[in-house]
Amino acid sequence: MEIIFKNVTHSYEANSPLEGIGLNDVSLAIHDKKFTAIVGKTGSGKSTLVRHINALIKPTSGTIKVGDREITPETNNKNLKSLRKNVGMVFQFPESQLFEDTVEKDIMFGPMNFGMSESDAKESAKKMIKLVGLGEEYLDKSPFDLSGGQMRRVAIAGVLASNPETIILDEPTAGLDPVGRKEIMDLFKNLQKQGRTIILITHNMDDVANYAEEMVVIHDAKVMAVGKPKDIFNDKELLTNDILTLPRSAVFAQKLSKRDFSFPQLPITISELTAEIKQQVHGD
Amino acid sequence: MEKIISIKDVTYTYPESKQPAINNLSLDIYRNEWVSIVGRNGSGKSTLAKLIDGLIESESGTIFVDGQEVNEENIWNIRSKIGIVFQNPDHQFVGATVEDDVAFGLENQGVPRDEMVKEVDDALKMVDMQDYKTRDPQSLSGGQKQRVAIAGVLATKPSIIIMDESTSMLDPNGRKTVLDLVKQLRDQQDMTIISITHDIEETELSERIVVLRSGEVVKEADPKAIYDMGSELTKYGLEEPFSSQVASLLKDGIKLPEGYLNEEELIENIWKLSSKM
Ligand SMILES: Nc1ncnc2c1ncn2[C@@H]1O[C@H](COP(=O)(O)OP(=O)(O)OP(=O)(O)O)[C@@H](O)[C@H]1O
Ligand SMILES: Nc1ncnc2c1ncn2[C@@H]1O[C@H](COP(=O)(O)OP(=O)(O)OP(=O)(O)O)[C@@H](O)[C@H]1O
Ligand SMILES: [Mg+2]
Ligand SMILES: [Mg+2]
């Protein structure tokens, strides 16, 4: 589904002394079946942006089109079920999305809510828990008696179980160990290859470079840049103004540039970096 | 070196759990040391932090903090020395506003009112959150919550800080700023830092890395010795340092010395090779 933000502004506590701007006149298209990364500093508006997509919050002004659904300031909380079936979201803090008394029930909730039979949902829970790297023995545990990274995995399993077309991930790998992070990122990439749209908020620029096809930079409640990671990470203006940080490969290349190496375009993945180095060392 | 925390043969099993989360674990931590605790999800890192702070009670073994045994009698005294930044900042917040929240720990220490206002301001400035004083902490963004949670702990100037993945949601520059700040406080105020982290880059700041697996200490060494383990690190759920990843890809085609090279050393080596051409 194509997602289109048109002049979207969101004020928190509008018309009160505490009023704060979460999004400021944002227009943006997020493309169907692509892997899009959303980056930006702490408090820049990333979570605010994505919460509009499944109407967890409504715009103060402007509209968001999600496929043929339109979300406006007037959208009420009725009839959102079909939207939420199509747009799954893993929250920034997984605990806030866990609520059943067992992991199994928690994962089954979404699918059953959207019409799956109990026995199919049970099967799905078994599959999902393994997909996120936990054993079946976790199904009978309370989701609150888990470690932080285990809770994260259960929250991801719960969202994937409903098989949404569009998957929004708000810093889904925070708290995962590095091996788990790679497995889970590969899992998202595979889901995209199977035709899902993936929207990933992250502070990990290596993950952006390795997995995303498109990239959106948010700064001070506004969209500052949209494009391919390779182009955005080579945008000098964004970098000098401290709006964006680079993947580790690009930082490494910058350091080599001070030592007689030259990179017309900064490499953003480790394979690009090492290929360039080899070429320049061998002089061919 | 003076031991500030001494853990001996400690075992802890959560109610209704079959396996212990901490299994006969022993570990000493020295005053003014920075120790990183790493390991896979579920390896027991947060449980260990809770045991040190007496939030849960070990079923066997002993823990001493600054010369006192962690038990019911000493618990308040011990907790006044330890500041924990919890993995989920929502578990940290008690106040209705950011400033109340940071003030809470100071109030508990009996800091007089006028001093308190200043110390709250100072702590919030340190993490660049002074403009959010009157906000409800629950309404902050993820990274803002983590900053306030850190400020709340720094304000009380504990002699031991335990950070449980407390910078996991900060942007890269913000994370660096906070870690530099902690480093500076450690040097100035003789603090001891225990940092639970999945970020291999962050462990470079520490004197020692402790690797947990299934509630046991499986490795304990200075960062260089740990990084020397190379691809074996993934066995413990860890990532190889970036410079090692680059080096191992380069070795297929370029001759580099054996063993771990940090980024500067690797760049130096690559540069030497290319300038010989
Ligand atoms: N419920 C709320 N009430 C008032 N202000 C809010 C609320 N939620 C968010 N804000 C503010 O809106 C701004 C954007 O917040 P948002 O959560 O979208 O940031 P973010 O880019 O996701 O940041 P982070 O990387 O730290 O998670 C922040 O300044 C935040 O304090
Ligand atoms: N409240 C609890 N009740 C029962 N078991 C628990 C509870 N909290 C954690 N556990 C279990 O104890 C083990 C250790 O958990 P702990 O939270 O210490 O791990 P961790 O190393 O901090 O992991 P993470 O990196 O995911 O935060 C895990 O297997 C976990 O499932
Ligand atoms: Mg956020
Ligand atoms: Mg933990």
Q: Kindly report the CATH number assigned to the domain that includes residue A153.
A: 3.40.50.300
Same domain, residue pair A27 and A86: yes
Same domain, residue pair A129 and A260: no
| pLDDT, position A17 | 76
Instruction: Give the number of whichever ligand sits closest to the CA of residue B43.
Output: 2
CB A21 within 8 Å of CB A79? no
The residue nearest atom 7 of ligand 1, judged by CA position, is B139
Instruction: Give the number of whichever ligand sits closest to the CA of residue B137.
Output: 1
Degrees (nearest 5) of the Cα angle A265, A267, A272?
A: 130
Whether chain A has a CB inside 8 Å of the CB on B277: the answer is yes
Count CA within 13 A, CB hemisphere, residue B78.
21
Who among A42, A147, A261 is closest to B42 (CB)? A147
Residue-wise pLDDT for B41-99, tens only, equals: 999 999 999 999 999 999 999 999 999 999 999 999 999 999 999 999 999 899 999 99
pTM: 0.96
Among B127, B136, B141, the mutation site with the greatest number of ligand 1 atoms within 8 A of its Cβ is: B141
Same domain, residue pair B208 and B264: no
Is B237–A47 a contact, with Cβ atoms under 8 angstroms apart? no
3-class secondary structure, B58: coil
Going by C-beta distance under 8 Å and a sequence separation of 6 or more, which residues neighbour residue B90? A93, A95, A96, B138, B145
| pLDDT, position A241 | 82
| Residue A9 CB burial class (10 angstroms; 0-12, 13-18, ≥19) | middle
Which neighbouring-strand residues pair with B7? B27, B63
| pLDDT, position A110 | 94
What is the arithmetic mean of pLDDT over A31-51? 98
Please state the length of chain A.
284
Q: Looking at A112-165, which runs of residues are DSSP E strands?
A: none
B6 vs B64: CA distance, rounded Å: 5
What is the arithmetic mean of pLDDT over A84-97? 94
Nearest to B141 by CA among A221, A15, A61, A181: A221
Query: pLDDT: is A81 or A211 the higher one?
Result: A211
Same domain, residue pair A214 and A126: yes
Is B88–A270 a contact, with Cβ atoms under 8 angstroms apart? no
Same domain, residue pair A106 and A234: yes
Distance from chain centroid for Cα A149: 17
Identify the segments of chain B with pLDDT beneath 50: 277
Crossing angle for the helix pair A248-257 and A270-282, to the nearest 10 degrees:
20
Among A46, A170, A220, the mutation site with the greatest number of ligand 1 atoms within 8 A of its Cβ is: A46
Is B169–A43 a contact, with Cβ atoms under 8 angstroms apart? no
Number of domains in chain B: 2
Give the ipTM.
Answer: 0.95
Who among A42, A47, A260 is closest to B274 (CB)? A260
Number of domains in chain A: 2
| Average pLDDT score over chain A | 95
Q: A128-137, A140-149, B66-75, B250-259 — which is least confidently predicted?
A: B250-259
* Beta strands across the sheet bearing A3-12: A20-30, A3-12, A61-66, A69-71
Residue ranges making up the domain that contains B77: 3-240
What CATH number did the domain enclosing B75 receive? 3.40.50.300
Q: Which residues of B have a catalytic role annotated?
A: 165
Radius of gyration of chain A (CA): 20
Going by C-beta distance under 8 Å and a sequence separation of 6 or more, which residues neighbour residue A47? A92, A170, A201, B141, B142
Question: Which CA distances in Å does B29 have to A96, B2, B45, B131, B204?
Answer: 34, 9, 15, 37, 17
Q: Which residue of B has its CA nearest to A181?
A: B237
Same domain, residue pair B220 and B261: no
Q: Looking at A142-212, which runs of residues are DSSP E strands?
A: 166-170, 197-201
| A:68-127 residues touching chain B, CB 8 A cutoff | 92-93, 95-96
Which neighbouring-strand residues pair with A220? none
- Picking from A138, A154, A179, A238 by the largest number of B CB atoms within 10 A of its own CB, the best residue to mutate is A179
A23 vs A8: CA distance, rounded Å: 7
3-class secondary structure, A151: helix
Nearest to A50 by CA among A178, A162, A218, A182: A218
Same domain, residue pair A193 and A57: yes
Query: Would you say residue A19 has pLDDT above 90?
Result: no
Same domain, residue pair A177 and A54: yes
Residue ranges making up the domain that contains A134: 3-243
Same domain, residue pair A64 and A85: yes
Q: Is the CB of B271 under 6 A from ligand 2?
A: no
Same domain, residue pair B139 and B235: yes
Beta-sheet pairing, A20-30 with A3-12: antiparallel
Q: How far is A161 from chain B (nearest CA, A)?
A: 22
| pLDDT, position A33 | 98
Which neighbouring-strand residues pair with A161? none
Is B174–A41 a contact, with Cβ atoms under 8 angstroms apart? yes
Q: Is the CB of A164 under 6 A from ligand 1?
A: no
Query: Would you say residue A284 has pLDDT above 60?
Result: no
Going by C-beta distance under 8 Å and a sequence separation of 6 or more, which residues neighbour residue B252? none
What is the arithmetic mean of pLDDT over A87-104? 95
Is A147–B14 a contact, with Cβ atoms under 8 angstroms apart? no
Among A12, A18, A216, A218, the mutation site with the greatest number of ligand 1 atoms within 8 A of its Cβ is: A12
Is A177–B16 a contact, with Cβ atoms under 8 angstroms apart? no
Q: Looking at chain A, which runs of residues are DSSP E strands?
A: 3-12, 20-30, 35-39, 61-66, 69-71, 87-90, 166-170, 197-201, 214-219, 222-227
Same domain, residue pair A270 and A203: no
Same domain, residue pair A145 and A259: no
B164 vs B156: CA distance, rounded Å: 17
| pLDDT, position B276 | 55
